[in-house]
Amino acid sequence: MRLKRWIIMIVVATGIILAIAYGFFPKPVPVDLVKVARGPIRVTIEEEGKTRVKDRYTISAPVAGFMQRLELEEGDPVKKGQALVRLESLRSTVLDPRSRAAAEAEVLSAEAALLMAEKKVAAARADEAYAKSKMERFKKLYEGKYIPKNDLELTEAEAQRTEANRFTAEAAVKVAQHDLERARTALRYSPAEGVKDTGKIVSIHSPVAGRVLNIHRKSEGVVQSGEGLIDIGDPHSLEVRVEVLSANAVHLRSGTPVLFERWGGDSALLGKVRTVEPAGFTKISSLGVEEQRVPVIADITSLPESWKKLGEGYRVEARFIIWEGKDVLQIPASALFRKGENWAAFVVKNGKAKEREVKVGHRTGLVAEVLSGLVEHEEVIAHPDDSVKDGSRVRSR
């Protein structure tokens, strides 16, 4: 009986000791396991872009003038050589009371000058008539040898001088008439007089066939030389302008493939880079950070029927394909962590985590190419944290 009691006590004590030991024994860490597998990898750069017409023509005013109201609307088709804008001469200004009084005084002064010039013409004609008649009398006297030749020559010179004076006086009358006309013009063409300015019309023609993209000014009014009036272009000839970070732009070149997504269609559009502009610019991001960006111009290579509803200024998301592989050994990028200058991952074997150095190739935001250190079908921890160490016992969640 006593022996049996001792056996029971020993068994109970052993169970308690084992339970205490089990409580202090480290438990397996729950982790997410993924397998090293082969599959396609695509390294891309994603940025927002906007469509624009390739060849855009801005029709501007060649001279300052008064533009007639435009009959065109945005989207209207235009033909090459079609008259788009008509410019009249600039309208005269309205005279204020002081300017009007001065203009009226100029008219009176010009009228008086004309009257004086006309009187001078009458005097010059009288002098000319007298000189010519005198010359005729001296000719007869010279023929009769009553006067010397010198007297005849003096009368001929006087007649020529009076004739020249008459021509001069008549020319002065014409000058006075023009001065009077100029003085009256300031009053005659004032808009306050109700007289419409007249002049030739300057027509501006379309250099190409296309459609009206934008009208800068539709109503009539004064325009200055060089002022933009209408934008013309072919809306079916589009390109995409994307502002790429300069650190990413160095990986792009002419011919780099690009996908245009989230443009409103059912599928992505194909394209390729045409130009990476050589100069960048500074842009403030939405977070207030200064960024150096480079404009990249890309063409849409998909069939025009698939994107015919796109127009100028439409938003698209451009995905530039820098590198692409079809059968690449890969693991999730979250399974990697830094070990000095190298990368490492935890490989799970027999329920224990083993730290292993991994050589990584191309990387995306989600997966990384494995060059060495892992083999296909091995299991790695997808999201290792500080609780996982080399040799730790782990279990799948």
pLDDT tens digits, residue range 86-133?
998 877 777 778 877 887 788 888 888 889 988 888 888 888 888 888
H or E segment to which residue 31 belongs: strand 29-31
pTM score of the predicted model = 0.65
Q: How many residues does the chain have?
A: 397
- The string of pLDDT tens digits covering residues 42-60 is 999 999 999 999 988 999 9
Whole-angstrom distance, CA of residue 113 vs CA of residue 170: 13
Whole-angstrom distance, CA of residue 50 vs CA of residue 224: 31
Whole-angstrom distance, CA of residue 29 vs CA of residue 394: 4
Using DSSP, state whether 248 is helix, strand or coil. helix
Share of the chain above pLDDT 90, in %: 41
Query: On the CB side of 304, how many CA atoms lie within 13 Å of its CA?
Result: 6
Using DSSP, state whether 79 is helix, strand or coil. coil
Whole-angstrom distance, CA of residue 217 vs CA of residue 84: 12
Give me the pLDDT at residue 196, please.
56
Q: Give the domain ranges of the chain.
A: 26-42+327-396, 44-53+235-324, 57-84+205-232, 97-193
Whole-angstrom distance, CA of residue 111 vs CA of residue 118: 11
Burial class (CB in 10 A: 0-12, 13-18, 19+), 261: middle
Which range among 74-78, 108-112, 142-146, 345-349 shows the weakest confidence by mean pLDDT? Answer: 142-146
Whole-angstrom distance, CA of residue 63 vs CA of residue 151: 65
Torsion, Cα 16 18 22 25, to 10 degrees, reads: 120
Using DSSP, state whether 14 is helix, strand or coil. helix
Q: Which amino acid is at 306?
A: S
Which range among 191-205, 275-289, 327-341, 344-358 shows the weakest confidence by mean pLDDT? Answer: 191-205
Among 182, 186, 185, 177, which Cα is nearest to 113's? 177
Using DSSP, state whether 258 is helix, strand or coil. strand
Residue whose entry in the numeric block shows the structure tokens 């309205």: 94
Which range among 121-125, 295-299, 356-360 shows the weakest confidence by mean pLDDT? Answer: 121-125
- The string of pLDDT tens digits covering residues 369-380 is 999 999 999 999
Task: Judge whether 105 and 188 are in contact, CB under 8 Å.
Answer: no
Fold of 57-84+205-232: OB fold (Dihydrolipoamide Acetyltransferase, E2P) (2.40.50)
**CATH number attached to the domain at 26-42+327-396:** 2.40.420.20
Here the tokens at position 25 are 């024994």
Task: Judge whether 44 and 364 are in contact, CB under 8 Å.
Answer: yes
Q: Which amino acid is at 247?
A: A
Axis-axis angle for helices 97-143, 149-188 (nearest 10): 160
> 44-53+235-324 is classed in which CATH architecture?
Beta Barrel (2.40)
**Where are any strands of DSSP class E within 117-237?**
202-205, 210-215, 221-223, 228-233
Work out the mean pLDDT of the chain and round it to a whole number.
87
Here the tokens at position 319 are 């995905």
Q: Which residues, 6+ apart, have CB-to-CB distance to 139 below 8 Å? A: 152
Using DSSP, state whether 321 is helix, strand or coil. strand
Torsion, Cα 116 118 120 125, to 10 degrees, reads: -170
Task: Judge whether 261 and 319 are in contact, CB under 8 Å.
Answer: yes
Task: Judge whether 66 and 221 are in contact, CB under 8 Å.
Answer: yes
